[in-house]
C-alpha cells in the first residue's frame, strides 16, 4: 500500500477516487497521457516523443445501494492519441484507482457527468 506521510495515498486501492453524478447520469472517464521522451527514445531508437506504454486505471462500478457490481481495468492509447475516452459508467457512482502506482508515467484522469 502506498503511503504519503503516514496517510493513504489518493488514487490507490486503499483510497480510491469516488466519483458520483446526479441520479440517472452516467460518468465518462478519459485518460490524457503525456509523452515520455526518454522511454520513447529507448523504444523507438530515434529520439521520438511517442508514448510507448499506456496508462491504466481500474474502475469499480457501484450499484444504487452502493454495492460493488463490477471491476475492470482500462488503459489509454499508449501515445496513438493524447486523450482517450476509456469508460462510460452504467450507474451514477464509480470508484477509480491507478492500476500501476510504481510507474513514473504522468497522466490525467478526466471525468464528466453525462445524461
> Structural domain boundaries of the chain?
16-114
Say if pTM beats, i.e. exceeds, 0.75: no
* Cell numbers representing residue 113 in the block: 457527468
How far apart (Å, rounded) are the C-alpha atoms in residues 62 and 16? 13
- According to the model, what pLDDT value does residue 63 have? 73
Inform me whether the pLDDT recorded for 82 exceeds 50: yes
Inform me whether the pLDDT recorded for 55 exceeds 70: yes
End-to-end C-alpha distance for the chain, whole angstroms: 35
CATH number of this structure's domain 16-114: 2.60.120
Average pLDDT, stretch 77-89?
A: 81
Task: Give the pLDDT band of residue 112 (cuts 50, 70, 90).
Answer: very high
Amino acid at each position: 500500500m502506498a503511503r504519503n506521510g503516514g496517510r493513504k495515498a489518493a488514487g490507490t486501492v486503499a483510497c480510491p477516487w469516488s466519483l458520483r453524478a446526479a441520479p440517472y447520469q452516467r460518468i465518462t472517464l478519459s485518460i490524457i497521457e503525456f509523452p515520455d521522451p526518454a522511454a520513447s527514445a529507448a523504444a523507438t531508437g530515434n529520439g521520438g516523443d511517442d508514448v510507448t506504454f499506456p496508462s491504466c486505471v481500474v474502475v469499480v462500478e457501484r450499484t444504487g445501494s452502493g454495492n460493488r457490481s463490477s471491476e475492470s481495468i482500462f488503459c489509454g492509447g499508449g501515445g496513438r492519441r493524447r486523450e482517450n475516452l476509456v469508460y462510460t459508467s452504467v450507474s451514477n457512482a464509480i470508484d477509480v484507482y491507478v492500476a500501476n502506482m510504481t510507474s513514473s508515467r504522468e497522466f490525467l484522469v478526466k471525468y464528466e457527468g453525462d445524461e
